[in-house]
Structure 1
Amino acid sequence: RRRAPFRFLLAADAIVAVYSALEAAAAAWEAARGATPLPEAVQLWFDFGHDQGFGYLALAGAAAAARDVAGCGRGREGWTSGGGGAGAAACVRADVAVGLGFAGFAFLALAALVTGFRLACFLATGSRFPPTQPASY
């Protein structure tokens, strides 16, 4: 909690968590009402842009903390050198925090791929869903 990279990771992940909760609420609202909160084209660009931006925010936070964790247990300031005790537990917690940060980035990268596909479909066909093939009997 006292190390700047982990405060950055916590802030980045908190922002991403709030954004994800708002996106889930918007998706539920869209499913219930059958319409997007914003005009469709604006909504698609909004979703795609925010998925990209917040994905890179999560990656930056995890990368900053990972650089700090790389020296864990090697006698760097604030970390204990040697084995066992509270220093080893702090290193494990730091590794878990960084892993969760990278996992958050992976999920946002997947969301960016999905919203990118929806945006590409909208630009190509005028609808965010791929065109359906007529049934041939």
Structure 2
Amino acid sequence: MAEITHPLKPAEPADETPHETREPHAPRRPNPSAEPLWRDALGHCLRRLRLERGETLVETSRRAGVSPQYLSEMERGVKEPSSEMIAAVAGALDVTLGDLTLAVATTLLTAPARTAPAGVTCQAAYALAA
């Protein structure tokens, strides 16, 4: 498979250690060794991009038109943001929605592989996606 070069580098692997500061109402994944969720990978990419720019939550959220609390929740993988919210934050970070999506997808593709349960095939996954 050809290597894809891209201006956004893949995010560092997620820390799998439980965090005591997580809100009690925040969703938890039942199996911490499972592949990361889209919202988790998105959050890691957004935080990495913001920190690379040397910005605070307030600075980035102001340009994106979202509250700092909402941006923080996006970065922590607590929220399932709409495509409009993702596009607004991507724009505030000076990346295209396509570039951000590719960075998140690359992060997910490089995450540790998870074995599918018995009987689950790619055809079943395609049927669900349709």
TM-score by length of 2: 0.25
The structure whose Rg is larger is: 1
The structure showing larger relative contact order (alpha-carbon pairs under 8 Å, at least 6 residues apart) is 2
Larger proportion of helix: 1
TM-score by length of 1: 0.24
